[in-house]
Structure 1
Amino acid sequence: MTFALILFVLLVLTGAIWLLDKFMLRQRRAPADKQPWWVEYSISFFPVILAVFVLRSFVVEPFKIPSGSMIPTLHVGDFILVNRYTYGLRLPIVNRKIVEINQPQRGDVMVFHYPNDPSVDYIKRVIGLPGDEIIYRDKQLWLNGKLQAAARDGDYNYVESGLNFVHTERYRENLDGREHPILINPERAQIHLNGVERFPQFEQCRYSEREMRCTVPAGQYFMMGDNRDNSRDSRYWGFVPDELIVGKAFLIWMNFDELKRVGLSVE
């Protein structure tokens, strides 16, 4: 059961008890009688749960970065805030859009429900919009027939889980006019073909040892991690439907291991 569903159940339960007390139980109690403990607690917690539920569902939601797939933009242990309304207002729990506001743009860092298991949230960068042709060839990105420039920006080293030291090359990729950092590991294969799944609309993609080529279907998005050779993303498990979008990441509000990252915006 997801946290949002647990919060919703608590909201309904405490709200029902509050209403029951307001319109029925209160009239039956003698003026000197105290509220039962379960009524007192429900009335006390209901407004708090309501406020948290509304904020998380329609305004901002916290999210913790669990893996290194978005290094160097996001580090393991970053706590970020996700804008829940920028891509439209959605009904809680079912995640159905009820108000259209903005559409995801190339270069946005987006949180979404993992297509293979919607109970799990993922975070990647939007690379392809509906109708785009994406080519990833020799570790270079092509968008609708145009090579997306990537300028070398030195080396980048980090330690991944298991205390493995990883050496990579850092680049500044220009994605349709928006720059962001990416990491390329020259020692790793461009794509592990044995890890590619038979995802929905797989026929929209073609794979070879040298390149991957996909046309993004209507209403779906192509996502990639900034740590290109250490990210399982749309190259492996396919496209992200609009109905699985959670929101846009915009701020790092805490990292207990790297306090200097607190307050950084997510670009």
Structure 2
Amino acid sequence: MEKKYYRLSFFIDKVFRLVIIACILFVLYLLLGVTTFATFKVPTDSMEPALLPEDCILVNKWVMGGRIFNVWDALEGKEVEITRLPGFGKVERDDVLVFNFPYPGRWDSIRLDVMKYYVKRCVALPGDTFEIRDARYYVRGYDGVLGNIRQQDYLRLQLNGIADDHSARERGICFNAYPFNDIVNWNIVEFGPFFIPAKGAEVLMTPLNKVLYRNAIEWEQKKPLTLKGDTVLLGDSVIRKYSFRQDYYFVAGDLAINSQDSRYWGLLPEPFIVGKAVRIWKSVDKRTDRVRWNRIFKKIE
């Protein structure tokens, strides 16, 4: 009897220890997921050739710091406050970012959708003035390369001689660009100049800036931004200038001819960024189900 009791006690003790170890590992996994790394699968070709569909990418959260927010409220579509843990770096131009798509319902209203992620390349930082000239990307005062130049030139060739959205759509290309307003009438070949807001930066509330920054200001203030004549109103109050509360970024897909990016929907708020994509840890060709071994642990550049 004592022997059976000893065996039962030994078995229970062993199971208890395994449960404790499993719980510790699970907690560590959650902590790493929140603070350090995450993985995502690339669903489309918008980042070719840097990233291919079915590439599984590793995202470094240490660069900006992990995000803390109420996931359950976010899943229910409620407004959530997002805070960040301390970061150990900063986003630079041409970094590849993973982020929550900020316009899941309508392209004129910023909202967090924790179930919808995009991966694009950062082509302009907070405080930059971004332009597209002859389909190529530029930041004033910066001489480096932005995005995939070959794909930008290919887009220009495909749109050679085309100056309207109807003709471009016949080739499968959306020609008109953010903010889709006659006051600027930008397109994906000629765009800007567009100042990308940095936290604390001020802009005058002119009719033009009301059009360019309405989405961001309404998201920050939770009030409508309207125009009465040449006067801009925030809610019921006249506003002459505005100081931004968040940093914003401008992102674009490397496959310029087929990418739903900031050229169409505008500013990416900093709190929506998950982190920087650093490596491909797995890649499978969905047409053949074969592993692309040459892409395993490839650095994302």
Shorter-chain-normalised TM-score: which range?
Answer: 0.5 to 0.7
For the residue of structure 1 that corresponds to 2:40, the secondary structure is: strand
Deviation at 1:54, TM superposition (A): 1.1
Where in structure 2 are the equivalents of 1:147-226 lying within 5 Å? Answer: 174-175=145-146, 182-183=150-151, 184-185=154-155, 186-188=157-159, 189=168, 192-193=174-175, 196=178, 206-209=184-187, 210-213=189-192, 214-218=194-198, 219-226=247-254
Secondary structure of 1:256's match? strand
Percent of matched pairs sharing the same residue: 31
> What pairs with 1:225-240 in structure 2 (closer than 5 Å)?
225-240=253-268
Q: Which segment drifts farther, 214-223 or 96-105?
A: 96-105
Q: 1:75 aligns with which of 52, 65, 85?
A: 52
Question: Of 134, 140, 163, which residue of structure 2 is paired with 1:138?
Answer: 134
Q: How far does residue 196 in structure 1 lie from its aligned partner after superposition?
A: 4.4
Structure 1 unmatched runs, 5+: 1-30, 150-173
Matched residues in 2 for 1:182 and 1:53: separation?
40
Separation in 2, partners of 1:48, 1:80: 22
SS in 2 for 1:255: strand
Structure 2 unaligned spans of 5+:
1-5, 72-80, 105-112, 160-167, 199-246, 286-291
1:110 and 2:97 matched: yes
Residues in 1 aligned to 2:87 and 2:20: alpha-carbon distance in whole angstroms = 35
Give the structure with the higher percent strand: 1
How far residue 47 of structure 1 moved from its aligned partner, in angstroms, is: 2.1
User: Number of paired residues?
Assistant: 204
Q: Flag the 1:251–1:102 CA change in 2: closer, same or farther, 3 A.
A: same
Q: Distance in 1 between matches of 2:39 and 2:135?
A: 32
- Paired position in structure 1 for 2:294: 260
Q: How far has the Cα of 1:60 moved from its partner?
A: 1.0
2:119, 2:63 → 1: CA distance? Answer: 16
- Alignment match, 1:127: 123
Q: Could you tell me which amino acid in structure 2 is paired with residue 249 of structure 1?
A: A
Verify the 8 A CA contact 2:62 2:87 in the aligned structure 1.
no
Report how far residue 65 of structure 1 moved.
0.4
1:85 is aligned to 62
Q: Report the aligned-residue RMSD.
A: 3.3
1:46 equivalent in alignment to 2:23: yes
Q: Helix, strand or coil: the match of 1:76?
A: coil
* Structure 1 residues 182 and 125: alpha-carbon distance in aligned structure 2, compared to 1, 3 A threshold: farther
With 256-265 and 92-101 compared, the bigger mean Cα shift is at 92-101
**CA gap 1:181/1:47 in 2 versus in 1, 3 angstroms:** farther
Return closer, same or farther for 1:67/1:197 CA change in 2, 3 Å cut-off: farther
Deviation string 1:129-182 (CA, Å, 9 cap, x unpaired) is: 112111112211221166x67xxxxxxxxxxxxxxxxxxxxxxxx23xxx8665
What is the CA-CA distance between 1:70 and the residue it aligns to?
0.4
Deviation at 1:99, TM superposition (A): 1.5
Q: Which amino acid aligns with 1:208?
A: W
